[in-house]
Each structure stands twice: as C-alpha cells, then as structure tokens.
Amino acid sequence: GVSTPAAPHPADADNTGTDAATTVARLNAAFATGRTRPLAWRKAQLRALRRLLVEQEEVFAAALKADLSKSPTEAYLTEIGFTVNEIDHTLRHLARWLRPRRVPVPLALAPARARTVREPLGTVLVISPWNYPLQLALAPLLGAIAAGNCAVVKPSELAPATSAALAHWLPRVLDPQTVAVVEGGVPETTALLEQRFDHVFYTGNGTVGRIVMTAAARHLTPVTLELGGKSPAVVDPGADLAAAARRIVWGKFMNAGQTCVAPDYVLAIGDTGPALEAELAAAIREMYGEDPAGSPDYGRIVNERHFDRLTALLADGRTVAGGEHDRATRYLAPTVLADVDPESPVMRDEIFGPVLPIVRAPDLDAAIAFITARDKPLAMYAFTSSAQTRRRLTAETSSGALAFGIPNAHLSVPGLPFGGVGESGQGGYHGRRSVETFSHTKAVLSKPLALDTLRLAYPPFTSGKSRL
C-alpha cells in the first residue's frame, strides 16, 4: 500500500484522534491568531496541496487501487487530477471571490456606504465517504481553506489506504496548526460531532446525514449535506440510442457504479426499451471486453456487505448483460436488468453499484410523473433530440443537477455549484460556491457622524416630521 517513512514526524501527534475536544480547541486557538485570514496564506496552502497531489500521485493512486481497485487513469481523472483542477480554478479566482461588494444605500440614509464582506467561519468539520475517498475529502477541504478556515478532515474508514495516506500527508504539507486529520469510524465521528464546529460538511448517505444534522443542531452549527439518491437517465424516442447507451454505460460503470451521481436507472420512453437493451450490452462489451473481470479499467465492490446487498438485487429483473459475480474478489460484472417492476427492491433504494435497471414509461408525461413521485435525485440525465422535452424536464422536475447528453460530467465544470435538493442533500460546493459555503457574508454599513441627516428620524415624532 502506502509508503510511510520509518522516522516519526511531529505532525503524527495530531493524527491520533483520541481527543476530539483537544483537536478542536487547538484549531480554534490557531484560528483566533488570524493566521488563516491572509489571502497569501490561503493560496500558499492551496499550492502546497497541489504540489502534494502532483508529487505523490503514485502514492494516492496506489491507495485508491488498494481500496477500490481503481485504475490509475480513472484515479487521476476523477480524484487526483480533478482536485488539482479545482485548486487551479480556485487559485485563479479567489481574490475576486473574496473582494468586498458595494451595495447601494437608500437615499434616506445618505451619505453612507454599504458593502458585504466575506469572513471565514472558524473551524469546520469535513466527513467524507469511501467511494471517491480522495476527491470527497480534499475538494471540501480546499474550499474551507480558500475561505480562511481551520479544518478537521474525517476520511472514511471503509477506504483505509486512502484514509492513512491523507492522515500521513496532509499535516506534513499543510500548516499543521490549522488542519487535522482524524481517522476512524462511528465512535471517532460521534466524538467529533459532540464538539462545537462552525460548519459541518458531510458527504454520504441520508441516514447518517440525519445523525449529523441532529448533532449539529445542538450547537446551531450549519451543515452541508451531500447525499445520494436514484438519479434517472431518461431516454427519449428519436435520440441516438447507441450514443446514449455509450454515455450511460460510461457514467454508470466507472468506479463499478459506486458514484453518487451515476445514472441509477434508465427510464426508457415509448419503444426505446428493447433497442436500448442491445445497445447497452454492446457498449459494455466495447468498453470492458467480453469478460470485464479481466479489464484493468473495471473496479471492484468496496466490501462484502455491499457485494451481498448488490447481488441480492440481481433477481429483480431479466438479465440483459452481466450478472456474473465472485464474492472472493468482490467482482460484480456490469449488469443491465430489464422487465423491472418499479416497486421491486432494485427500484426502492439507491443502487450504488454496477446494476442498471431499465424501467419503461409510455410517454414523457408518465416519465415526469414517475420522477416527481419519488425523492428528488442528486442528478437527472436525459438523452433526447427534442427541445420541448428538454424544456419540460427542466421546468417540471427537481434534482440537484440536470444534464442533457452526458452523465457525471457536471462535476467537472468548476463554475457549476454541486449539491443536492431534498433527500439528495442541502447546500453546495465547488469553485465559488465552496467559498460561499465556508464563509459568512457580513453586512457592513458605515455612516459618518458629522452631518446629522437623521434628525428627522429621531423622536419625538412631532407633526411636521415626514416619513423616511
């Protein structure tokens, strides 16, 4: 796995996570010194993080391989390089995002000046999941740093190699007074959540999201919840079905389907279902070969619990492609199921694995009714050549994001905020939205004392004083 030098490093003292209160107190004290506030400090931290990712790319790629059998190319595209791009975008625009903004003052208050000032929140907690264990720890962290905060990062215990690599490296390259990595599972996270943070940023499932929000409520701490859901891929008659199938297969089976924004199921409108079955199977063969078990580009299921959960879903439809599985290696082939009952288990909860059910809807009205009757998904995808279909889906459905013609890729548009709505989460991040999330927009009004233009507003309100 991950290489660690033999000699102990003073930064390791910060990584034990045995005393959550001590860690938070230490970071709060560092925040109070003001060291995280200068733009130069923030940029230096971001550059150090960037350097780490570039210099230790192989270490992180090896960790991701160990945790999820991620191919090095996919690890770069979706985790390491992704984070580098997010850093570059932030470095390029941060000064502008932080600049105070002038706001007009009503005439009755003149002369006066009003503006908004972005101030850091303090010490924030980032709790991340196992599926993109590097990206989903570092993208929130870099936003927190850009906004001028101290941060505790709690990586997922289900991606232990990546967790260890983050715990080892972050305090070595970042200012260790201001960043701490606490490794562990439920007990360690519970201990952290008892502390008073200035913001809690959680990525994971809705059940734990509720635990996080409840814990934060005790301290009136605001939360960002990046959750999941069943993201549909709507396919309209008239769309190029072969092209749509390739895009869906690409988005669904990357990271073996363990992607929060992956198309969860296909909603095939009209007569597109049967043709899609063949096209999806063909696209899987094209990308992963006749035997995906031998493809170096195909990942594995994170653990046996998830493997068992996923293989139980294979009974919920007619297998059109895949279905092969091997518990010893946690291999589950890219699988497509047809003739799926919308009430069956595979259509109840987020699949979060390489099983793609096709559900059919007679027309667009039925498809929209199907989507809106369910929880608001994290993403919605549509493959259509009709502007009318695009307009209607935009106006008549709600989801964290909506993309036409391509799944998953909206994450890599740094100008687009990323987040869910309803059951798929609340709040957002990426780029400017991260800085907004991890800062407070303070209203600042300033009126000179000389020239007392307010006389008319002071009591007593004798007649003759006009309304302001």
Residue 444 · residue 208 · CB < 8 Å: no
Residue 90 · residue 118 · CB < 8 Å: no
The interface with ligand NAD within residues 120-159 (CB under 6 A) comprises 127-131, 136, 154, 156-158
Q: Does 162 bind ligand NAD (CB under 6 A)?
A: no
Q: Does 378 bind ligand NAD (CB under 6 A)?
A: yes
Q: Which positions ≥6 away from 189 have C-beta within 8 Å?
A: 127, 154
Of 86, 183, 226, 436, the catalytic one is 226
Closest CB 265 distance from ligand NAD, rounded Å? 14
- CA-to-CA separations, 213 to 198, 200, 237, 364, in angstroms, rounded: 13, 9, 42, 36
CA distance 448 to 110: 9
Q: Does 352 bind ligand NAD (CB under 6 A)?
A: yes
The interface with ligand NAD within residues 164-193 (CB under 6 A) comprises 185-186, 189-190
Closest CB 355 distance from ligand NAD, rounded Å? 14
Map residues 12-51 to x or -, x wherever contact with ligand NAD holds by CB under 6 A.
----------------------------------------
Residue 411 · residue 261 · CB < 8 Å: yes
Q: Which residue is nearest to ligand NAD (CB)?
A: 228
Tokens standing for residue 111: 């002369």
- CA-to-CA separations, 136 to 142, 198, 202, 285, in angstroms, rounded: 10, 19, 10, 30
Helix (H, G, I), strand (E, B) or coil at 14: helix
Closest CB 306 distance from ligand NAD, rounded Å? 8
CA-based nearest residue to 300, from 368, 358, 353, 373? 353
Q: Does 383 bind ligand NAD (CB under 6 A)?
A: no
Q: Does 403 bind ligand NAD (CB under 6 A)?
A: no
Q: Does 221 bind ligand NAD (CB under 6 A)?
A: no
Of 150, 260, 277, 350, the catalytic one is 260
Q: Does 366 bind ligand NAD (CB under 6 A)?
A: no
In what order do the strands lie in the sheet containing 335-338? 318-321, 335-338, 355-361, 265-269, 232-235, 379-383, 401-404
Q: Does 350 bind ligand NAD (CB under 6 A)?
A: yes
Cα–Cα–Cα angle for 401, 378, 227, nearest 5°? 135
Closest CB 424 distance from ligand NAD, rounded Å? 7
Closest CB 104 distance from ligand NAD, rounded Å? 37
List 17, 122, 148, 204, residue binding ligand NAD (CB under 6 A): 204
Residue 318, φ and ψ in degrees, nearest 5: -80, 130
DSSP symbols for 316-367: GSEEEE---EETTTTEE--EEEES--TTSGGGTS---SSEEEEEEESSHHHH
Residue 358 · residue 340 · CB < 8 Å: yes
- In this complex, which beta carbon is closest to ligand NAD, that of residue 90 or of residue 203? 203
Q: Does 349 bind ligand NAD (CB under 6 A)?
A: no
- In this complex, which beta carbon is closest to ligand NAD, that of residue 208 or of residue 275? 208
CA-based nearest residue to 48, from 136, 146, 127, 116? 146
Residue 350 · residue 424 · CB < 8 Å: no
Q: Does 230 bind ligand NAD (CB under 6 A)?
A: no
Q: Which positions ≥6 away from 329 have C-beta within 8 Å?
A: 293, 300
- In this complex, which beta carbon is closest to ligand NAD, that of residue 200 or of residue 393? 200
Choose the stretch contacting ligand NAD; rule: CB under 6 A; options: 29-37, 57-65, 225-233, 320-328.
Answer: 225-233
Whether 226 is catalytic is yes
List 62, 167, 182, 227, residue binding ligand NAD (CB under 6 A): 227
Whether 74 is catalytic is no
Closest CB 393 distance from ligand NAD, rounded Å? 21
Q: Which residues pair with 200 in a beta bridge?
A: 125, 223
Map residues 245-284 to x or -, x wherever contact with ligand NAD holds by CB under 6 A.
---------------x------------------------
- In this complex, which beta carbon is closest to ligand NAD, that of residue 135 or of residue 149? 135
List 120, 228, 407, 414, residue binding ligand NAD (CB under 6 A): 228
- In this complex, which beta carbon is closest to ligand NAD, that of residue 71 or of residue 156? 156
Tokens standing for residue 262: 């992956």
CA distance 380 to 370: 13
Using CB under 6 A, list all residues that contact ligand NAD: 127-131, 136, 154, 156-158, 185-186, 189-190, 203-205, 208, 211, 226-228, 260, 350, 352, 378, 420, 425
What are the catalytic residues?
Answer: 226, 260
